[in-house]
C-alpha cells in the first residue's frame, strides 16, 4: 500500500510505526470532518476551474459514501494509512481511480488536519456545553426540591454563616454557567478557516478562493496571513483543555463537598445503594467512589494542559511533526470531561440531604448580630464586632 507522499523509496518499518504512533486510532473521530472539509475544498476547486464537474461529483459522492460507511462501522483507519487523511485518500483512489488524487491540489495535510480539527472542536464544544447544562439542570432540580433545607455556610471548613441547599446548589450552577461561557469563547478562537494556507506558505500561485471554503464550512473568518495558521496550532486546543480544567475543577469541588457531606461524621447527605460500591474486605462499606473519581479527574486535565502547552513551546515557526502529539491530550481531556459531566448529571439526581442531621448553631448568627448591633446602636462595626466576640469568648470558657 503506497503512502500518499511515497516517492518510491524504502521506509524503515520501525520508523513508520513510531511516526504513525496512535494517530490511526485517534483520527477515527475526524473522518466525517475531514470528509466535509475535503468536499468544501473540491467544490472550491471546481468553482475556480481547477477541477472539472464530473471529477468533482465523483470525488464528493465517494467521500460522502466513505463517511457513511465509516459511521456504519464498515471500515476503520489502518496503521499503514498513518492517519485519517491517508486513509481517505487511499480509499478514494481505490474507488474512483487516479481522479481521487485531484482533490489534493492546493492543499497540504497541514491545513487539512487543522480544518478537520476545528470542525470537530466546534461539535465537541457544543456537546460539552450541553452536558454541563445537564449538570446545571440537576443542580437546579436539587435546589427546587430540597433548596429550603438549611446548611451551614463554611469558611476555612468552619461553620461561618447560615446558608441553604438552594444557595449551595445555585452557587455551583452559576460557576458552571461561567464555564459554559468559557467554552463558547474557545469556539470563537477556533472559528478561522485554515484552508488555502497549504503547508503554511500558501498554494504556490494557484488561484484558490479561501473565502469560498470559509463560507461553505461556516467559519467566522479566514485566517490571515497564511503563516499564522501553523503558528496557531495548539492554541485553541490548549484553550479548550484549559476551559475543561476550570469546568471539571468546579465539578470536582462539588464532588469534594458531597464527599465531606457523606462522611459518617457529617452525614448531611445519603446516596442510594446503587450509587455506591463495596469494599473487597470490609462488608459494611458503601463507598462513594463515583465522587472520588470525579474529584480526581481534574488532575488528568491539568496534566493534559501542561502536555499541550509544552508541545509547541520553543518551536521555531512553521509546521513540525511535534504537533501531531497535540491530539492525544486534547481527545483525552474531551472524553474524560464528557464522562464526568454525564455521570454527575446522573448522580446528582439521587443525592438526598438529611435535614435531621444538619444543625446550625447560634454562633452562625454572630456576624448578623454584630451587623444589627452596629446599626441599632449607631456604633462602628469594629466596636460591635468586638462586643459580640467578647460575649462569645465568655461563653467558650
> Where in 174-233 is the site for its own copies (CB under 8 A)?
174-175, 178, 181-182, 185, 188-189, 198-206, 223-228, 230-232
Taking residues 287 to 316 in sequence order and writing x for each that binds its own copies by CB under 8 A, - otherwise, the string is xxxx-xx-xxxxxx-xxxxxxxxxxxxxxx
Q: Which residues from 116-155 bind its own copies, rule CB under 8 A?
A: 153-155
Q: Which is nearer to its own copies, 216 or 245 (CB)?
A: 245
Of the candidates 76, 130, 279, 317, the residue annotated as catalytic is 279
390 Cβ contact partners less than 8 Å away, ≥ 6 residues apart: none
Minimum CB separation of residue 100 from its own copies in Å reads 7
Minimum CB separation of residue 335 from its own copies in Å reads 10
Q: Which is nearer to its own copies, 95 or 309 (CB)?
A: 309
Does 167 engage in binding with its own copies (CB under 8 A)? Answer: yes
Q: Which residues from 57-76 bind its own copies, rule CB under 8 A?
A: none
Minimum CB separation of residue 47 from its own copies in Å reads 15
Q: Which is nearer to its own copies, 68 or 357 (CB)?
A: 357
Question: Residue 244: how many CB atoms within 10 A of its CB?
Answer: 33
Does 394 engage in binding with its own copies (CB under 8 A)? Answer: no
61 Cβ contact partners less than 8 Å away, ≥ 6 residues apart: none
Choice from 95, 105, 133, 149 touching its own copies (CB under 8 A):
105
Taking residues 322 to 361 in sequence order and writing x for each that binds its own copies by CB under 8 A, - otherwise, the string is x-xx--xx---------x--xx--xx-------------x
Active site residue 279: yes
Choice from 284, 356, 376, 394 touching its own copies (CB under 8 A):
284
Taking residues 367 to 386 in sequence order and writing x for each that binds its own copies by CB under 8 A, - otherwise, the string is xx-xxx-xx----xxxx-xx
Closest CA to 103 of 113, 93, 114: 93
Q: Are 301 and 354 in contact (CB under 8 A)?
A: no
Minimum CB separation of residue 54 from its own copies in Å reads 13
- What is residue 160's three-state secondary structure? strand
Active site residue 70: no
> Residue 276, class by beta-carbon neighbours within 10 Å (0-12 exposed, 13-18 middle, 19+ buried)?
middle
Separation in Å, CA 89 to CA 27, 103, 116, 163: 14, 9, 14, 61
Tell me the CB-side half-sphere exposure of residue 136, using CA atoms within 13 A: 16
Q: Which residues from 10-39 bind its own copies, rule CB under 8 A?
A: 10-12, 14-15, 18-19, 21
> Residue 7, class by beta-carbon neighbours within 10 Å (0-12 exposed, 13-18 middle, 19+ buried)?
exposed
Choice from 130, 145, 263, 377 touching its own copies (CB under 8 A):
263
Choice from 53, 73, 393, 394 touching its own copies (CB under 8 A):
393
Count the site residues for its own copies by CB under 8 A: 170
Minimum CB separation of residue 75 from its own copies in Å reads 21
- What is residue 100's three-state secondary structure? helix
80 Cβ contact partners less than 8 Å away, ≥ 6 residues apart: 1, 3, 16
Minimum CB separation of residue 196 from its own copies in Å reads 12
Minimum CB separation of residue 349 from its own copies in Å reads 11
Does 280 engage in binding with its own copies (CB under 8 A)? Answer: yes
Between CA 234 and CA 239 the distance in angstroms is: 8
365 Cβ contact partners less than 8 Å away, ≥ 6 residues apart: 161, 162
Helix 84-96 to helix 53-71 angle (10° resolution) is 120
Separation in Å, CA 291 to CA 56, 112, 146, 368: 52, 40, 20, 34
What amino acid positions are annotated as catalytic residues? 156, 279
Amino acid at each position: 500500500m503506497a503512502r500518499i507522499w511515497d516517492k518510491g523509496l524504502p521506509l524503515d518499518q520501525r520508523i513508520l510505526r513510531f511516526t504513525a504512533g496512535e494517530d490511526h486510532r485517534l483520527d477515527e473521530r475526524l473522518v466525517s470532518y475531514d470528509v466535509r472539509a475535503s468536499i468544501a475544498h473540491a467544490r472550491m476547486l471546481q468553482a475556480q476551474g481547477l477541477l472539472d464537474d464530473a471529477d468533482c461529483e465523483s470525488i464528493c459522492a465517494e467521500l460522502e459514501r466513505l463517511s457513511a460507511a465509516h459511521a456504519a462501522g464498515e471500515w476503520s483507519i489502518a496503521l499503514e494509512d498513518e492517519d485519517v487523511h491517508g486513509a481517505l485518500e487511499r480509499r478514494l483512489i481505490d474507488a474512483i481511480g487516479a481522479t481521487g488524487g485531484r482533490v489534493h491540489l492546493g492543499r497540504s495535510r497541514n491545513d487539512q488536519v487543522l480544518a478537520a480539527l476545528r470542525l470537530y472542536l466546534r461539535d465537541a464544544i457544543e456537546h460539552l456545553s450541553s452536558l454541563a447544562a445537564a449538570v446545571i439542570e440537576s443542580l437546579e432540580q436539587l435546589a427546587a426540591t430540597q433548596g429550603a433545607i438549611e446548611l451551614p455556610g463554611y469558611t476555612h471548613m468552619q461553620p461561618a454563616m447560615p446558608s441553604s441547599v438552594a444557595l449551595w446548589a445555585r452557587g455551583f450552577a452559576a460557576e458552571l454557567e461561567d464555564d459554559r461561557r468559557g467554552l463558547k469563547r474557545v469556539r470563537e478562537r477556533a472559528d478561522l478557516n485554515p484552508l488555502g494556507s497549504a503547508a503554511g506558505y500558501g498554494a504556490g500561485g494557484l488561484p484558490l478562493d479561501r473565502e469560498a471554503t470559509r463560507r461553505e464550512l461556516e467559519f467566522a473568518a479566514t485566517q490571515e496571513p497564511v503563516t499564522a495558521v501553523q503558528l496557531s496550532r495548539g492554541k485553541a486546543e490548549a484553550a479548550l483543555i484549559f476551559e475543561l480544567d476550570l469546568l471539571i475543577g468546579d465539578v470536582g469541588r462539588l464532588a469534594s463537598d458531597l464527599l465531606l457531606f457523606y462522611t459518617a461524621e457529617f452525614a448531611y447527605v445519603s446516596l442510594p445503594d446503587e450509587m455506591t460500591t463495596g469494599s473487597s474486605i470490609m462488608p459494611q462499606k458503601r463507598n462513594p467512589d463515583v465522587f472520588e473519581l470525579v474529584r480526581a479527574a481534574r488532575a488528568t486535565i491539568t496534566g493534559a494542559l501542561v502536555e499541550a502547552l509544552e508541545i509547541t513551546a520553543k518551536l521555531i515557526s512553521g509546521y513540525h511533526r511535534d504537533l501531531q502529539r497535540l491530539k492525544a491530550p486534547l481527545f483525552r481531556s474531551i472524553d474524560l470531561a464528557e464522562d464526568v459531566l454525564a455521570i454527575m448529571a446522573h448522580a446528582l439526581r439521587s443525592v438526598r440531604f438529611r435535614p435531621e442531621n444538619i444543625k446550625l448553631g447560634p454562633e452562625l448568627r454572630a456576624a448578623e448580630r454584630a451587623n444589627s448591633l452596629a446599626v441599632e446602636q449607631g456604633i462602628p462595626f469594629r466596636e460591635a464586632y468586638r462586643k459580640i466576640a467578647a460575649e462569645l469568648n465568655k461563653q467558650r470558657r
